[in-house]
């Protein structure tokens, strides 16, 4: 299939219902998200990734959920199959994340088989729900009583992903099937936990956050205030070591320090960023500026001291955890794909709340690097762990070790459907609006429509980003009154110009005027490759350099450096250069039109070739380094 | 109490029975260990450590075993107490290691209360044994059937430590009480496992090695060949993924590659070195030169690519495991104290088998650094994990994190009694004999007696090592015929002299002649502090230097650098100097007579003071670094 890049569909689809994407606040925020249905990607980098997601990842994901037994568990719970439930305690959640992906993908481009598949799975999920709303296929059949082990049983976590999927299906298809299941689950939780509860488990929080953001989304969709209240209650109930009485580790479970008192992120990285994401949702909807300020400080501290150059989060295999400040080894980076996704969600909410461009920078860094490395270019092959170095003699003793190569699925399969739902809803992260105009945060070809106080503004974006830094924004339709167009200038984009005028990196270039159809602006983001040097406290990186080009971090794979031992190379940083598509075999090998590679020389004159980090391990699985010693 | 340093006791104690120490081979080895009763440490560095071990660690250890419930478990098993067994699955083994420590300590200096204590515990252990010889207090009462989960239940591991303790008690006290229990356990194992077995569990190996070396020791003590055969069988049964069917991870459990095919050590570090120790015992007693050669290559590979400068082993908290080659982070070094102890045991056996001085170097590096850092100078306070860096903002989320400081005991208390048994038997590692002479491997004041073909040779050693590099060896008694005195010259000891003659570092200085009482040799080991630079592949150490002085690695603690932020310092390697005791406050603070500190300057002229790594965290727990960036 092909997607046109003109704007004709906007007029044609005038009767199509508006589709809100993920995280559409009810409260007034500094920036407002656009409807998912008002953003349409055109041919280019991200549309290629969405096509792979639709054509390969999503259909293969449904097969994997069948083969791995996740769907079987629902059949057992629905009384339609015999046998034991199987797989990890949180197996249900992978089904829900797939349902959410399928929903957003349907919104992106409707297709009857995509709808049939999700409704069939939805019917099965609904059949597995108990009469009081509780829904978990594994816990009551294998682990004992409900909520008996919140530190490990993931019951709220599964409920949260179900709710997110129910909201997505409602927004994307207009159908209430899964939303009804989600509401029953949420009403059950309201009865069992938090301020309205009168049961013994009232005081417990779940070992794995996500219910917080899910309940806020359900509040947004339904208007039922109880859900927001319970989310807010869960946020503040956390951080008091309450899971220790079940044997849980407070640090690991984000239960050691209350969210509003924390100064950093610690413990299990995915848990931690899911919690701050939900807390940000709560802060937005309750107007809790103190909480929002605490979360902003935590984001700053995390990005300054505990984040890889790829955006990756989680330095430790041990506990899949954040390390200490500046503990960022390249070879043993965990940097779980799900943690990058959680950070995108958190940064997006912070961006809506504050309008600060740095969160747009974060989303760009995460999406192009730490997130996208988690899925193959063809779709359907995944990394759970995303290191910045693979040694020649590394030994893969665990399934998720990247030395094993990309895998079709995992025993713990949280990442694949998380990638799917992120790619299918990606359009929602590109732009926002305010009363007086539109803000472009991420650059990709396509069209978008936004509502301002003066009227609707329709734009067409044309760019070969991230290979080329020229972004042309053409006005398709505009109100007569002046509006403000804001374009994010990444912090790395020194020398950027908008219509030839110099702009400051690390903020927004703004133009306020009356626009007419056909008016165009040209943003030029200089994409010369650049040398990045590490913070002096990072042991693993001392004396090394990385290469970035625009939003892309580069990686050096052994297969591109014949005759050199990647473990032993050193480079001359001053030798950095780039090679555009026409001259590089890697572009064809990787099926990456427009690919730009970079080159560094050793002191002996040997040349090393770097490809974008997101594209590594798409040919053979090989030694790889992002940071190279200077020498 | 005081221990005299003259030789009068040798004559006085002529009727005292000879006490073999740990690892006395039956087979002929290149070097023969001395009897433990033929080595007596005099005032000096190691005797101080042994006194702390005797006066504080060992008595406190017995209290801890009581308070933590390890002894209670035996009372339950013996039918003398009610209640559940408690603590980790391997709780019994800590009792056995304490019994072994008490036995060797009794050999070092007899004392009726020390004997009473161990015999009281021995009686309790014996009462807990089942009629067929099986002895484990925890597994049958909490975990289900015997040997049902060899990957995690540690039944052979506990049996191995029991056997080692039984052998030690026999050798040290002459009593058979615990040996009889050990023999019953071993006979039970011979019936159940390996070549003589006819049961269903015949093919299983234990998740945690140690039974191999224990059975060989029991063979040495009793002469029963079945024990050696079973040990040899266990060694070769390993490495075939047999524990995977129980859900065990082959790499973690040293079960992925057969010992004689392995080229490196991998997985859980303590398991790995205990296995190679036992395999070396088997190779020695069976004359298996191929196995011995494989083990030697593994030791070389380990020390070249997977060992910290402190001798520490195990780069990962995740799985307490060896990392990949050159994966040696300072801050997240695990370097479990038990792994250093296992490596001492392995190196000692390799030294006996091969006579290669490098194993003596290894033992010295391990004992003075990675091992000794595991216990406080006063005794009784322990580190389980021994990092080479503690950051200012490090967060201790686990009990064993050194940021918590030294602890009196651990929920998993393998290390403390392991330290005790090593210190109480330390005399056994100092010297060996051959038909034609005596070899001194470690330097400490004291007296020793060795048997050569020409007759007995008695020596007195006087030294202030490791503070001072002068070692005076005086002949107390010697045969008339010529004998060879061999003194290890550490690989770091460039410029060493023996009686004024230059010697080659990294081997033995040998003098062959007739000696008479009163003859003396003087070895001079130059102890100027030196800069050590890391291998270029070690990311965490690139651009840094460490300081060593003689056998000691130095550490820089924040409390000794007022006004400087240790996380941010850089040093001028050319500024290295040392300060002897007379000028350093640290010597008094640490109660370390003779202490020599080192000094490095920053480019701005600030001075940093380093103390020996083994002495860190004996005042306050503070930031610490071994490797400092050059700048």
pLDDT tens digit sequence for B407-417: 999 999 999 99
Q: What is the pTM of this model?
A: 0.93
For residue A274, give the nearest of A202, A213, A193, A216 by alpha carbon: A213
CATH class of B262-390+401-408: mainly alpha
Q: Which residues of B touch A324 (CB under 8 A)?
A: 331, 391, 393-395
- Cα–Cα distance between A135 and A132 in angstroms, integer? 9
Q: Domain segments of chain A: what residues?
A: 22-429, 431-524, 530-629
Measured CA to CA, the distance from residue A237 to residue A257 in angstroms comes to: 10
Q: For residue A12, is pLDDT > 50? A: no
**Position B16 pLDDT exceeds 80:** no
Q: Is the pLDDT of residue A482 over 90?
A: yes
Span B122-135, mean pLDDT? 98
Flag whether residue A252 sits within 8 Å of chain B, measured between CB atoms. Answer: yes
pLDDT above 60: residue B15: no
Interface of A with B in 232-251 (CB under 8 A): 249-251
Q: Which residue stretches of A382-538 are H helix?
A: 415-424
Nearest partner of B22 among B96, B94, B103, judged by Cα: B103
User: What digits encode the pLDDT tens for the residues A571-617?
Assistant: 999 999 999 876 788 888 898 989 999 999 999 999 999 999 999 99
Give tens-digit pLDDT for A252-296: 999 999 999 999 999 999 999 999 999 999 999 999 999 999 999
Closest chain B residue to A316, measured at CA:
B318
Closest in B324, B393, B629 to A325, CB measured: B393
> Peptide bond preceding B466: is omega within 30 degrees of 0, i.e. cis?
yes
| Residue A542, min C-alpha distance to chain B (Å) | 6
Q: Is A494 part of the contact surface with chain B (CB cutoff 8 Å)?
A: no
- The answer to whether the Cβ–Cβ distance between B542 and A543 falls below 8 Å is yes
* pLDDT above 60 for A446: yes
Q: Which residues of B touch A323 (CB under 8 A)?
A: 332
Tell me which of B75, B221, B320, B548 is the catalytic residue.
B320
Among the residues of A329-451, which ranges form H helices?
A: 337-354, 357-365, 415-424
Q: What is the mean pLDDT of chain B?
A: 95
Please report the residues numbered 254 through 293 in chain B whose beta carbons come closer than 8 angstroms to any beta carbon of chain A: 256, 266-267
Tell me whether residues A542 and B537 touch, CB distance under 8 A: no
pLDDT in tens, B159-214: 999 999 999 999 999 999 999 999 999 999 999 998 767 665 666 899 999 999 99
Question: Does A266 sit within 8 Å of B395, measured CB to CB?
Answer: yes
Q: Which residues of B touch A249 (CB under 8 A)?
A: 397-398
pLDDT, mean over chain A? 95
**pLDDT category, B14, cuts 50, 70, 90?**
very low
The H or E element spanning position B577 is strand B572-579
Residue B51 pLDDT exceeds 60 = yes
CB-based contact (8 Å) between B176 and chain A? no
Question: Chain B within 8 Å of A83 (Cβ-Cβ)?
Answer: no
**Residue A368 Cα, gap to closest chain B Cα (Å):** 25
- Please state, in angstroms and as integers, the Cα–Cα distance from residue A133 to each residue in A159, A183, A193, B22, following that order: 10, 8, 13, 65
Which helix (H) or strand (E) covers residue A455, if one does? Answer: strand A455-463
Q: How many CB pairs under 8 A join A and B?
A: 98
Neighbours of B468 (CB within 10 A): 15
Over residues B313-327, the pLDDT tens digits come to 999 999 999 999 999
> What is the spatial distance between Cα B110 and Cα A383, in angstroms, rounded to a whole number?
61
- Residue A135 token pair: 């829904």
User: B-chain residues within 8 Å CB-CB of A539?
Assistant: 329-331, 389, 539-541, 544
| Nearest chain B residue to A324, by CA | B394
pLDDT at residue A201, rounded to an integer: 61
Shortest Cα–Cα distance, B250 to chain A (Å): 8
Residue A531: name the closest of A516, A541, A520 by CA. Answer: A541
Burial of A175 (0-12, 13-18, 19+ CB in 10 A): middle
CA neighbor of B292 nearest in space, from B283, B300, B301: B283
- For domain B431-524, say whether CATH 1.10.3470 is its number: no
Which runs of E-coded beta strand occur in B382-506? 389-390, 431-434, 437-440, 446-452, 455-463, 470-477, 483-489, 497-498, 501-502
Give the pLDDT confidence of B220-240 residue by residue, as tens digits.
999 999 999 999 999 999 999
Question: Which of A249, A315, A322, A324 to mutate to probe the B interface, most B CBs <10 Å?
Answer: A324
Using an 8 Å CB-CB cutoff, list chain A residues near B543: 542-543
Residue of A nearest to B268 (CA): A397
With beta carbons less than 8 A apart as the criterion, state whether B592 and B615 touch.
yes
Instruction: Tell me A30's DSSP state.
Output: S
Q: How far apart are the first and last CA of chain B?
A: 49
3-state DSSP call for residue B226? helix
Q: Half-sphere exposure of residue B22, counting CA atoms within 13 Å on the CB side?
A: 32
Q: Which residues on A lie below 8 Å from B538 (Cβ)?
A: none
A22-429 belongs to CATH 1.10.10: no
- Residues 537-596 on B with a CB inside 8 Å of A are 537, 539-544, 567-568
Q: Is the pLDDT of residue A541 over 70?
A: yes
Which among B411, B455, B415 is positioned nearest to B433, based on CA atoms? B455
A293-341 pLDDT, tens digit per residue, is: 999 999 999 999 999 999 999 999 999 999 999 999 999 999 999 999 9
Identify the sign of the CA torsion A376, A381, A385, A389: negative
Indicate yes or no: CB of B266 within 8 angstroms of CB of A397: yes
- Picking from A316, A325, A568, the nearest residue to B537 by CB comes out as A568
Mind listing the pLDDT tens digit for each residue in B71-119? 999 999 999 999 999 999 999 999 999 999 999 999 999 999 999 999 9
**Is the CB of A543 less than 8 angstroms away from the CB of B541?**
no
Of B324, B327, B567, the CB nearest to A537: B567
Identity of the residue in A252, A325, A327 whose CB atom sits nearest the CB atom of B332: A327
Reported as a pLDDT band with limits 50, 70 and 90, residue A6 is: very low
B252 chain-A contacts, CB cut-off 8 A: 397
Indicate which residues of A carry an active-site annotation.
320, 414
Contacts of A317 in chain B (CB under 8 A): 316, 318
- What's the confidence (pLDDT) of residue B203? 66
Residue A611 half-sphere exposure toward CB, CA atoms < 13 A: 26
The predicted-structure confidence for A378-430, as pLDDT tens digits, reads as follows 999 999 999 999 999 999 989 999 999 999 999 999 999 999 999 999 999 99
Token pair 């429509």 is found at: A449
Residue A523, helix vs strand vs coil: strand
Q: What is the model's pLDDT at position A199?
A: 60
Q: What integer pLDDT is reported at residue B226 of this predicted model?
A: 96
The mean per-residue pLDDT over the stretch B454-474 comes to 97
- Per-position DSSP letters for B22-84, written without gaps between them: S---SS--SSEEPPGGGEEE-SSHHHHHHHHIIIIIHHHHHHHHHHTTHHHHHHHHTTSS-S-
State the smallest CA–CA distance between residue A587 and chain B in angstroms: 31
Q: What is the CA radius of gyration of chain B?
A: 24
Rg (CA), chain A: 24
Assess whether the previous peptide bond of A466 is cis (omega < 30° from 0). Answer: yes
Cα B583 to Cα B580: distance, rounded to the nearest angstrom: 6
**What percentage of chain A's residues is helix, strand, coil (to nearest 5)?**
40, 15, 40
Q: Which of B249, B250, B537 sits opposite A567 (nearest CB)?
A: B537
B249, B331, B544: residue with CB nearest A397? B249
ipTM: 0.89
Closest chain A CA to residue B330: A539
Chain A contact present for B323, CB below 8 A = yes
CA distance A268 to A243: 14
Q: Are A371 and A337 contacting, i.e. CB atoms less than 8 angstroms apart? A: yes
CB contact under 8 A, B329 and A543: no
């Amino acid at each position: 299939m092909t997607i046109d890049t003109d704007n004709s569909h906007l007029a044609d689809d005038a009767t199509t219902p508006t589709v809100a994407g993920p995280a559409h606040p009810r409260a007034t925020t500094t920036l407002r998200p656009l409807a998912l249905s008002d953003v349409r990607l055109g041919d280019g980098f991200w549309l290629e990734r969405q096509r792979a997601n639709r054509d390969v990842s999503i259909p293969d994901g449904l097969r994997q959920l069948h083969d791995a037994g996740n769907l079987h568990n629902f059949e057992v719970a629905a009384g339609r199959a015999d046998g034991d439930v199987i797989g990890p305690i949180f197996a249900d959640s992978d089904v829900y994340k797939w349902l959410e992906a399928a929903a957003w993908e349907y919104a992106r481009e409707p297709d009857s088989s995509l709808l049939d598949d999700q409704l069939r799975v939805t019917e099965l999920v609904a059949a597995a729900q108990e009469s009081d709303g509780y829904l978990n296929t594994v816990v009551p059949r294998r682990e004992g009583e409900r909520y008996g082990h919140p530190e490990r049983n993931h019951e709220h976590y599964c409920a949260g992903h179900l709710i997110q999927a129910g909201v997505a299906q409602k927004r994307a298809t207009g159908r209430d099937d899964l939303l009804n299941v989600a509401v029953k689950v949420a009403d059950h939780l309201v009865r069992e936990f938090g301020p309205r509860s009168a049961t013994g488990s009232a005081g417990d929080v779940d070992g794995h956050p996500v219910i917080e953001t899910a309940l806020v989304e359900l509040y947004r969709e339904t208007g039922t205030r109880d859900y927001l209240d319970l989310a807010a209650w869960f946020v503040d109930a956390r951080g008091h070591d309450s899971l220790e009485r079940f044997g849980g580790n407070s640090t690991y479970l984000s239960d050691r320090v209350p969210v509003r008192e924390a100064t950093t992120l610690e413990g299990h990285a995915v848990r931690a960023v899911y919690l701050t994401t939900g807390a940000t949702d709560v802060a937005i909807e309750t107007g809790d500026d103190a909480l929002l300020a605490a979360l902003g400080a935590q984001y700053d501290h995390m990005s300054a001291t505990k984040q890889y150059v790829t955006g990756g989060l989680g330095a430790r295999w041990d506990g899949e955890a954040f390390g200490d400040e500046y503990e960022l080894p390249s070879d043993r980076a965990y940097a779980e794909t799900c943690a990058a996704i959680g950070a995108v969600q958190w940064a997006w909410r912070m961006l809506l709340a504050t309008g600060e461009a740095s969160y747009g920078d974060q989303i760009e860094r995460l999406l192009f690097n730490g997130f996208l490395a988690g899925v193959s270019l063809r779709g359907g092959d995944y990394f759970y762990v995303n290191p910045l170095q693979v040694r020649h003699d590394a030994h893969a003793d665990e399934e998720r070790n990247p030395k094993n190569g990309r895998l079709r699925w995992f025993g713990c399969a949280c990442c694949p459907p998380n990638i799917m739902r992120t790619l299918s809803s990606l359009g929602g992260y590109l732009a926002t609006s305010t009363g007086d105009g539109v803000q472009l945060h991420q650059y990709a070809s396509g069209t978008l429509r936004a509502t301002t106080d003066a009227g609707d503004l329709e734009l067409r974006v044309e760019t070969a980003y991230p290979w080329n830094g020229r972004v042309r924004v053409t006005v398709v339709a505009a109100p007569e009154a002046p509006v403000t167009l804001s374009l994010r200038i990444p912090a790395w984009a020194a020398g950027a110009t908008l219509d030839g005028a110099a702009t400051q990196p690390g903020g927004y270039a703004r133009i306020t005027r009356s626009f007419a159809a056909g008016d165009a602006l040209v943003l030029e983001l200089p994409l010369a490759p650049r040398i990045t040097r590490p913070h002096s406290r990072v042991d693993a990186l001392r004396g090394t350099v990385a290469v970035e080009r625009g939003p892309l971090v580069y990686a050096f794979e052994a297969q591109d450096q014949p005759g050199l031992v990647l473990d032993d190379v050193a480079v001359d940083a001053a030798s950095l250069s780039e090679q555009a598509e026409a001259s590089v075999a890697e572009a064809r090998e990787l099926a990456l039109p427009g690919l730009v590679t970079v080159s560094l020389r050793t002191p002996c004159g040997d040349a090393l070739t770097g490809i974008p980090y997101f594209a590594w391990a798409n040919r053979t699985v090989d030694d790889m380094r992002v940071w190279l010693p200077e020498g």
